[in-house]
Amino acid sequence: MELEQYDLNGLTILWQASIRNRVLRTAIENELQVRILANKNFSREYLFIVCKVKNHAITVSFIPTSEAYNSYGQHITIDTLLDDTEMTEMINNYTSKPPINTAGQIKAKPLVTDGLTDEQIDRLINVGFHTSEILETIHL
């Protein structure tokens, strides 16, 4: 199977469906790790715009096998946490012409804590997750 032909969503579906085929599942997991390293679909500034500019909660789904997926589960609903320095950086990047988009770590406050342990909540607030681990987002 040529896994390179599938996008992240397709690989995720194949990964979920291959639970009984260890060889295929391992191959998919290896491909997902390669994709995580190259994933630039979401930026810190995108999350800033959704959460801080538009004042929306955001549900983040993680790529299977990513550190965030293993730490927090398939998805979490959050508000981003920014210190004063990060807030200034995000405002400057957002208002720059053209806007600047960066990858990196995002700390967040979980808005739905069902299923999260105190340790997971603490890790989310203090460590967060990397934008390259995001599969998709939903916000209203």
pLDDT score of 24: 96
pLDDT score of 89: 97
pLDDT score of 123: 97
Q: 65 and 111: one domain?
A: yes
Q: Is 69 left (phi over 0), alpha (psi -120 to 50) or beta?
A: alpha
Q: 54 and 26: one domain?
A: no
- Total domain count for the chain? 2
Q: 61 and 114: one domain?
A: yes
The mean of the pLDDT values for the chain is 96
Q: 122 and 60: one domain?
A: yes
Q: 62 and 97: one domain?
A: yes
How many percent of the chain have pLDDT more than 90?
97
Q: 17 and 68: one domain?
A: no
Give the span between the Cα atoms of 77 and 67, in whole angstroms.
17
Q: 27 and 53: one domain?
A: no
pLDDT score of 1: 75
Q: 132 and 65: one domain?
A: yes
The structure tokens 């808005």 sit at 111
- Domain containing 17 equals 3-38
Q: 98 and 75: one domain?
A: yes
Q: Stretch 77-84: mean pLDDT, rounded? A: 97
Among 33, 130, 31, 21, CA closest to 72: 130
Q: 33 and 60: one domain?
A: no
Q: Stretch 108-136: mean pLDDT, rounded? A: 96
User: Burial level of 11, CB count in 10 A (0-12/13-18/19+)?
Assistant: buried
Q: Stretch 67-94: mean pLDDT, rounded? A: 97
Residue 3 reports pLDDT greater than 80: yes
Rounded to whole angstroms, what are the CA distances from 31 to 38, 41, 75, 109, 136?
11, 17, 20, 30, 18
Among 26, 2, 22, 124, CA closest to 75: 124
Q: 30 and 57: one domain?
A: no
Q: 71 and 129: one domain?
A: yes
